Chains A and B, each alone.
Chain A
Amino acid sequence: MTTTAVREAVEERRSAGALHTIRRGLRLSPELRRGLPGTLLIALVATAGRVIVPVAIQQVIDGGLVEDGVDMTFVLQMTTLALVAVAVTAGATGWMHLRLARVAETALSGIRIRAFRHIHDLSMLHQASEQRGVLVSRVTSDVDQISRFMQWAGLMLLVNGGQALLALVVMLILSVPLGLVVLALVPFISLMIRWFQSRLEIAYLTVRERVGRMLALLAETVVGAPVIRAYGVEERTRTQLEDAIENHRRSAVRAGTLSATFSGSAEFASAFVVAAVVVVGTILAVNGQTSVGTVVAFLFLVQLFVQPVQILGEAVNEAQTAVAGWRRVLDILDIAPDVADPGPDGVTLPHEPLGVRFDSVVFRYPRAGQRADEASASPALRETSVVIEPEQNVAVVGETGSGKTTFAKLLTRLMDPSEGTVLIAGVDAREVRFNSLRDRVVMVPQEGVLFRGTIADNVAMGSPEASKAELAETFHRLGLSDWLEELAQGLDTPVGERGSALSVGERQLVTLVRAAVANPDLLVLDEATSAVDPATEVRISRTLGELTTGRTVVTIAHRISTAEKADRVLVFDDGRIVQDGTHSELVEQGGVYGRLFDSWQRGTT
Chain B
Amino acid sequence: MPPSDPTPIPTDSVRMGKGLDLIKRQLRRAPREFLVGGIGTVLYAAMTIVSSYVLGWVTDEVLFPAVDAGDVGTATLAGAAAAVLGVSALRGAGIALRRLGAYHAQFRLQYRDRVEVTDRYLRLPVEWHRKHSTGQLLANANEDVEAASFIAAPLPMAFGVLLMLVVTGILLLITDPFLALIGFMMGPALFIANFTYQRRMRAVAATAQRLRAEVADIAHESFDAALVVKTLGREDAEVGRFGERSDALRDRMVEVGRLRAMFDPIIEALPNVAILAVLAVGALRVDQGLLTPGALVTFAILFRLVAMPMRVFGWLLGELPRSVVGMERVESVLSETGDVVYGTKAPDDNGGATSTASTVGYLYPETEHVDLSATEGAVVPSDDRDRRGVDEITLNVRAGKTVAIVGPTGSGKSTIAHLLVRLFDPDRGVVSLDGHGLVDLDRDALARSVSIVFQETFLFNESVHENITLGEPFTDQEVVSAARLARAHDFVTQLDDGYATVVGERGASLSGGQRQRIALARALVRKPRLLVLDDATSAIDPAIEGEILEGLANLDTTVVIVAYRRSSIVLADEVIYVEDGRVVDRGSHDDLYGRLPAYRRLIDAYGKLEEPA
Contacts and interface: CB of A to CB of B under 8 A. Distances in A.
A binds B: yes
Given A136-B220, A268-B92, A225 B129 contact: yes
Given A225-B129, A604-B607, A86 B272 contact: yes
Nearest to B598: A534
Contacts of A480: none
Contact of B239 (A72, A117, A278): A117
A504 B64 CA distance: 88
Given A82-B276, A245-B115, A268-B88, A256 B107 contact: yes
A161 B435 CA distance: 77
A79 B284 CA distance: 12
Given A65-B283, A102-B257, A109 B605 contact: no
Chain B contact residues: helix, strand, loop or mixed: helix
A162 interface: no
A557 B613 contact: yes
B103 A253 contact: yes
Q: Which of A270, A414, A435, A497 is the most central at the interface, judged by chain B CB atoms within 10 Å of its CB?
A: A497
Contacts of B265: 89-91, 93-94, 97
Interface residues of B, number: 177
Given A278-B84, A451-B225, A599-B543, A221 B121 contact: yes
A238 B283 CA distance: 67
B272 A53 contact: yes
A316 to B, nearest CB: 15
A100 B257 contact: yes
A87 B270 CA distance: 10
B378 interface: yes
Given A53-B272, A90-B266, 8 more contacts: A57-B279, A101-B256, A136-B216, A227-B458, A261-B100, A278-B63, A442-B231, A464-B237
A53 B307 CA distance: 14
A529 interface: yes
B224 interface: yes
A100 B261 CA distance: 10
B261 A94 contact: yes
B50 to A, nearest CB: 13
A219 interface: yes
A385 interface: no
B181 interface: no
B10 interface: no
A140 B215 contact: yes
Contacts of A557: 612-613
Contacts of A196: none
Contacts of A286: 66-67, 69-72
A282 B66 contact: yes
A279 to B, nearest CB: 5
Contacts of A93: 261, 264-265, 268
B99 A534 contact: no
Given A226-B379, A271-B89, A532 B409 contact: yes
A70 B281 CA distance: 12
B504 A442 contact: no
B215 A139 contact: yes
Nearest to A597: B612
A498 interface: yes
Nearest to A220: B460
Q: Which of A96, A105, A261, A603 is the most central at the interface, judged by chain B CB atoms within 10 Å of its CB?
A: A603
B103 A75 contact: no
B522 interface: yes
B261 A442 contact: no
A225 B226 contact: no
A67 B98 CA distance: 43
Contact of B513 (A79, A257, A295, A400): A400
Interface in A507-537: 511, 514, 518, 529-534, 537
Which 3 pairs from chain A and chain B are nearest by CB?
A101-B257, A603-B567, A271-B88
Nearest to A246: B111
A299 B613 contact: no
Contacts of B107: 249, 252-253, 256
A277 to B, nearest CB: 9
B75 interface: no
Contacts of B123: 234
Contacts of A116: 219, 222, 238-239, 242-243, 246
B471 A70 contact: no
B152 to A, nearest CB: 11
A401 B511 contact: yes
B570 interface: yes
A260 B103 contact: yes
Contact of B100 (A135, A219, A256, A299): A256
5 contacts: A90-B265, A271-B92, A286-B70, A600-B567, A600-B610
B548 interface: no
Contacts of A476: none
A262 to B, nearest CB: 9
Nearest to A95: B261
B565 interface: yes
Contacts of B229: 120
Nearest to B508: A130
Interface in B108-136: 108, 110-111, 114-115, 118-119, 121-123, 125-126, 129, 134
Interface in B259-279: 260-262, 264-266, 268-269, 272-273, 275-277, 279
B182 interface: no
B232 A124 contact: no
Given A224-B377, A283-B77, A299-B55, A229 B612 contact: no
Interface residues of A, number: 171
Given A120-B222, A534-B601, A263 B118 contact: no
Contact of B287 (A70, A268, A272, A501): A70
A227 B456 CA distance: 10
Interface string A76-108: 100100110011011101111110111001101
B503 to A, nearest CB: 11
A534 to B, nearest CB: 4
Nearest to A446: B227
A603 B409 contact: no
Given A557-B613, A560-B610, A86 B58 contact: no
Contacts of A139: 215, 219, 242
A150 B539 CA distance: 48
Q: Which of A79, A121, A266 is the most central at the interface, judged by chain B CB atoms within 10 Å of its CB?
A: A79
Interface in A102-157: 102, 105-106, 108-109, 112-113, 116-117, 119-121, 124, 127, 129-130, 132-133, 135-136, 139-140, 144, 147, 151
Interface in B500-552: 504-506, 508-509, 511-513, 522, 526, 538-539, 541-543, 546
A116 B84 CA distance: 57
Contact of A278 (B80, B141, B279): B80
A399 interface: yes
Contacts of A140: 212, 215-216, 219
B9 interface: no
Given A75-B283, A120-B239, A231-B470, A253 B223 contact: no
A417 interface: no
A317 interface: no
Contacts of B80: 275, 278-279, 282
Nearest to A280: B77
Contact of B85 (A144, A272, A281, A560): A272
Contacts of A558: 609, 611-613
Interface string A459-500: 001101000000000000000000000000000000001101
A132 B224 contact: yes
Interface in A589-605: 593, 595-597, 599-600, 602-604
A265 interface: yes
B167 interface: no
A60 interface: yes
Contacts of B300: 57
A503 B385 CA distance: 9
Contact of A79 (B77, B279, B296, B601): B279
